[in-house]
């Protein structure tokens, strides 16, 4: 079985990028699995820092590292480049991992062990916080994976930790939606996959870990992130539903998040195991849905 592990990068995370590559190279896999790494650089031209990082692994004979350039700016274009490469080179599976994360040594093996009967296998991405980070942030749901039971069949997944059957996407003529250039392209793709009869399973044992940089540990960043999730939520719904249904769905979700945000302030006052940032994020998420309705889901990129 041939697996292509895709890492998207712009060259801004050289330290974590190298750690990510090393964790893929050091995977413990069965003799029936062959892994290659595809670096999809999303820049107008090759970045010197990316080339410098890759040169450190040039003498490694255990794994093949392919470096390609995607000049069309945006995550969907980079992901589709990886998908096209996997398809044209007859890979069985395509895996994605972020360039600021690193995988446990049994990551690919754990994903593949659940592949029988499923088109996509997804796992958790666990946060690594800087030392002495306040509980205000470490307890916030935004920085943690959603809670899913092991072996649960799910409707969508994120591309931060995933193994995809390439032939399934080819058969169903599916690719990432480049209209969702500011996010949500992975959720929207997998919603279309499950609507076509595809099956996605969750496994808790396939773990990747993500470094949370201090620049993201601010209330402003957290609220902007959740606001954008609401606005892009409108765009995701719009891709596959008539406008009236989108309007009703997003109005309901926006209202639900606003209500949850207001009500969830109470647990914060009653228990030290909760953070008011969760409440603020829910409020921002809810407002984002209504903004999406009014603006058509237009959002700006952010770091």
* Tokens coding 126: 């666990």
Question: Rg of the chain over CA atoms, in angstroms?
Answer: 19
Model confidence at 271, pLDDT cuts 50, 70, 90, reads low
Taking 90 as the threshold, does the pLDDT of residue 175 lie above it?
A: yes
Q: Average pLDDT of the chain?
A: 92
Longest dimension (CA), the chain: 57
pLDDT at 13: 81
Q: At 5, give phi and psi (nearest 5°).
A: -100, 115
Of the candidates 200, 124, 136, the residue with the CA atom closest to the CA atom of residue 161: 124
pLDDT at 263: 87
Q: Taking Cα atoms as reference points, which of 176, 41, 22, 189 lies closest to residue 107? A: 22
pLDDT in tens, 97-147: 999 999 999 999 999 999 999 999 999 999 999 999 999 999 999 999 988
Residue 58 confidence (pLDDT): 83
Look at residue 179 and tell me whether its pLDDT is greater than 90.
Answer: no
pLDDT of residue 270: 58
Residue 94 has pLDDT above 60, yes or no: yes
What local confidence, expressed as pLDDT, does residue 33 receive?
Answer: 93
Q: Provide the pLDDT for residue 64.
A: 92
Instruction: Kindly report the pTM of this predicted structure.
Output: 0.91
Q: Quick one: average pLDDT of 68-75?
A: 95
| Number of Cβ within a 10 Å radius of residue 138 | 14
Angle at 137 between CA 135 and CA 138, to 5 degrees: 60
pLDDT per position as a tens digit, 33-69: 999 999 999 999 999 999 999 999 888 777 899 999 9
Q: How far apart are the first and last CA of the chain?
A: 36
Angle among Cα 97, 176, 69 to the nearest 5 degrees reads: 65
């Amino acid at each position: 079985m041939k697996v292509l592990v895709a890492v998207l990068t712009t060259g801004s995370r050289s330290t974590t990028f190298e750690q990510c590559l090393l964790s893929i190279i050091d995977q413990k896999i069965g003799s029936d699995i062959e892994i290659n790494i595809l670096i999809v650089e999303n820049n107008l031209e090759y970045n010197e820092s990316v080339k410098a990082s890759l040169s450190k692994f040039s003498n490694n004979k255990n794994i093949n590292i392919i470096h390609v350039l995607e000049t069309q700016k945006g995550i969907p274009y980079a992901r589709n480049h990886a998908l096209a490469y996997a398809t044209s080179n007859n890979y069985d599976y395509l895996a994605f991992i972020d360039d600021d994360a690193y995988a446990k040594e049994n990551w690919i093996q754990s994903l593949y062990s659940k592949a029988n009967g499923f088109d996509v296998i997804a796992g958790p991405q666990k946060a690594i916080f800087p030392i002495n980070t306040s509980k205000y942030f470490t307890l916030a749901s935004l920085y943690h994976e959603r809670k899913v039971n092991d072996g649960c069949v799910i409707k969508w997944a994120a591309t931060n930790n995933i193994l995809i059957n390439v032939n399934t996407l080819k058969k169903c003529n599916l690719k990432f939606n480049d209209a969702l250039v500011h996010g949500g392209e992975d959720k929207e793709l997998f919603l279309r996959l499950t609507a076509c009869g595809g099956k996605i399973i969750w496994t808790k044992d396939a773990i990747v870990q993500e470094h949370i940089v201090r620049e993201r540990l601010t209330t402003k960043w957290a609220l902007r992130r959740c606001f954008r999730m609401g606005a892009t939520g409108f765009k995701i719904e719009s891709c596959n539903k008539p406008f009236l249904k989108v309007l009703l769905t997003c109005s309901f979700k926006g209202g639900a998040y606003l209500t949850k945000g207001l009500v969830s302030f109470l647990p914060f006052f009653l228990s030290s195991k909760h953070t008011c940032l969760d409440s603020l994020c829910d409020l921002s998420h809810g407002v984002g849905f209504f903004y999406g309705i009014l603006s058509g889901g237009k959002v700006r990129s952010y770091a």
